[in-house]
Structure 1
Amino acid sequence: MQNMDFDNEDHSSKLLRAQTHIFNQAFSFINSMSLKCAIDLCIPDVIHKYGQPMPLSQLVASLPIHPSKTCFISRLMQILIHSGFFSQHNVTDNEQEVSYVLTDASRLLLKDHPFCMTSLPQAILDPILVNPWFQFSTWFTNDDPTPFHTQYGMTFWDYASREPKLNHLFNDAMTNDTRLISSVVIEKCKEVLEGLESLVDVGGGTGTMAKAIVKSFPHLKCTVFDLPHVVQGLQGTENIEYVAGDMFEAIPSADSIMLKTIMHDWNDEECLKILKRCKEAIANKDKGKVIIIDVVMGNVKGDNKLDQPKLYYDMEMMVMVSGKERNERDWAKLFFSAGFNNYKITPVLGFKSLIEVYP
């Protein structure tokens, strides 16, 4: 009889654990939307400006909220503490209320932080990019190229060229990401750029990466190459030139070609075309190379914190565009199919890697 009770208890705990797991997954969007709310209300900036642990009453008084909503801020802060965006300052006997301080993550959400990341969650969580997820299961039953296409009847890129809001959100998010990544590349991977005289940043947007590179390598001539609606009206400098064009047709000639988070937007056939255009564009085959900054799936063993954003990125590529994230075997197959001789992967950019591909 005892054994039976034990079995039942074990069965019950398994059921409850499974139920909890379902609840956690179903409600996980609440983390994202609470983060978006904190950014919209400028909570990180308000706490930062206060200059010391900020009591709840001070925080409430400093936020642009309706008096009827003051009692809800402590509950919003509770989940933001749980998800690692703020820390709770311990309440002592003299202090009657809780105070809040920033964490490393919320510091990256400060408007005046040199690597401010607020545009990324704002873009990802905008209804334009959230709505296609409601078409995800429908998309599996039709022949549309992406759920984004099912939602809007056109590709992501066509929509961005017609809809200034999406174009602005996307460019802002990419600029934020590039600003942070470029500083790490220059700090940790300087040798990758040493000895090069010219570089084309393919899909380089408004030139964030190029500006960071020429600041550290003033002798390097950078060409920012992107679609006409992206580079239209942008002014070049002595070292930076903006060129409009289509990477599937031809890429300007240079020692090195950079592809920062470009390849994951496209399927294998399209990536092969891009790589072939890159190979044609490399002026000096002896010292030239393609520099890719992108995800390599499964290249850091057992680090769940790095695995998760890679998987999220892969799903986002499936829903928004026709791309995907690739493991080393996938990358190697593309490089050799495009006629390159060798490559080197350096996993130094968080969940992304720096890949050098040699002609």
Structure 2
Amino acid sequence: MASINERSASEMFQGQALLYRHLYAFIDSMCLKWIVELRIPDIIHNHAKPITLPELVSILQIPPTKVGQVQSLMRYLSHNGFFERVRIHENFEEKEAYALTAASELLVKSSDLSLAPMVECVLDPTLSDSYHHLKKWVHQEDVTLFKISLGSHFWDFLTKNPAYNESFNDAMASDSQISNLALRDCKLVFEGLESIVDVGGGTGTTATIISQAFPNLKCIVFDRPQVVHNLSGTNNLAFVGGDMFSSIPKADAVLLKWILHNWSDKDCVKILKNCKEAISTNGKKGKVIIIDVVINENQDQHEVTELKLLMDVNMACVNGKERSEEEWKKLFKEAGFQGYKISPLTGYLSLIEIYP
């Protein structure tokens, strides 16, 4: 390995640029929080056309001394793909204006596909400040990052803090809306089933989509009692409270969307064994449907792998993990399943069907 003195000046400059880019990366998150808090995507959406800086700062009631700072923020966010800088003509004059991109459209709070709740939840200081404790966390065996920062396991923290629990459920529901775009094209996965249990299904966003698409399919949302106790079902949709580590309601299929990455291999095997028991009744052999990350560094694009590895670090902090196909296969075998099939779902999530 080359020492510092053997590297060229060009290499050192590139290293400095990479270091500084990550050193100040927290500003990216804070800029997202800023535009959501000020509802800038909503303002541009309601404006019904690209908006100029003077129009934007007027609506936001920005003091004249801060207009330049707002321009810096908008220029940076535009460079990173959250807005598009376009040229418009008004009153015989050409002006620069900001238009929404696909990313900022996902932050319009009035949209059915809004991910603004995810931004609000993840960037709440209660959660984001926990990452200041990484040094302490890695030296303590079998302790989650949130146990150190919050004083309890993340799920216990949600139970004790109803306001944040509501924010978390809203965030998960918003993510489910995006996944449902893909699920609408996966109807073959649910055909032939008479019943399905959505384990950890939250407030029922995904199960509602499935129940509406398949009126004859009995759907059960199974989650912690405090999540589902005030929720009302429909003719083919019901909410049941319980603990997936104890037992799971019987059904032809079990859906685990973004669940297993929260847990260690040992816990996942326990959950999967309960799933296997739930679908193996009356002589029928059902299946388990998993929506989660499958790491594939050899085939995925660099940006996709970067996101998956970032999510892996995020899940490691609750002692969970994102998994490669080989790691998934090992879990399925230990839980007693005989076969599986992996299909692409979204840009970074896969759909995995496993069979007893």
Shorter-chain TM-score: what band? over 0.9
- Code of the residue aligned with 1:228 in structure 2: it is P
Give yes or no for contact 2:87–2:95 (8 Å, CA) kept in 1: no
Match of 1:121 in 2: 119
Number of residue pairs matched by the alignment: 350
Work out which of the residue numbers 189, 209, 214 in structure 2 matches 1:192.
189
**Superposition map of 1:143-158 within 5 A:** 143=141, 145-158=143-156
Q: Distance in 2 between matches of 1:278 and 1:179?
A: 24
The Cα offsets for residues 5-29 of structure 1, whole Å up to 9 and x where unpaired, read as xxx9982221111111111110111
Q: Distance in 2 between matches of 1:47 and 1:62?
A: 10
**Superposition map of 1:1-359 within 5 A:** 11-90=8-87, 95=93, 97-143=95-141, 145-186=143-184, 188-282=185-279, 283=281, 286=284, 288-298=286-296, 301-319=299-317, 321-359=318-356
Give yes or no for contact 1:299–1:328 (8 Å, CA) kept in 2: no
1:202 Cα shift?
Answer: 0.3
1:300 Cα shift?
Answer: 7.0
The Cα offsets for residues 226-267 of structure 1, whole Å up to 9 and x where unpaired, read as 011111111121111111100000000000000000000000
1:299 Cα shift?
Answer: 6.7
From the superposition, tell whether residues 300 and 58 of structure 1 become closer, same or farther in structure 2 (CA, over 3 Å). farther
Normalising by structure 1, report the TM-score: 0.93
Give yes or no for contact 1:266–1:322 (8 Å, CA) kept in 2: yes
Specify every segment of 5 or more residues in structure 1 that has no aligned partner in the other structure, as ranges.
Answer: 1-7
Q: Which secondary structure state, in structure 2, belongs to the residue aligned with residue 330 of structure 1?
A: helix
1:305 Cα shift?
Answer: 2.1
Which stretch of the first structure deviates more once superposed, 120-129 or 338-347? 120-129
Q: Which secondary structure state, in structure 2, belongs to the residue aligned with residue 154 of structure 1?
A: coil
Cα RMSD over matched residues? 1.9
Q: Distance in 1 between matches of 2:249 and 2:77?
A: 46
The Cα offsets for residues 211-240 of structure 1, whole Å up to 9 and x where unpaired, read as 100111000000110011111111121111
- Code of the residue aligned with 2:85 in structure 1: it is Q
Q: Distance in 1 between matches of 2:283 and 2:188?
A: 18
Q: Which secondary structure state, in structure 2, belongs to the residue aligned with residue 100 of structure 1?
A: strand
Q: Distance in 1 between matches of 2:97 and 2:337?
A: 57
Q: Distance in 1 between matches of 2:93 and 2:248?
A: 63
- Code of the residue aligned with 1:158 in structure 2: it is D
1:97 Cα shift?
Answer: 3.8
Match of 1:4 in 2: none
Specify every segment of 5 or more residues in structure 2 that has no aligned partner in the other structure, as ranges.
Answer: none
The Cα offsets for residues 194-224 of structure 1, whole Å up to 9 and x where unpaired, read as 1101000000101111110011100000011
Q: Distance in 2 between matches of 1:167 and 1:294?
A: 22
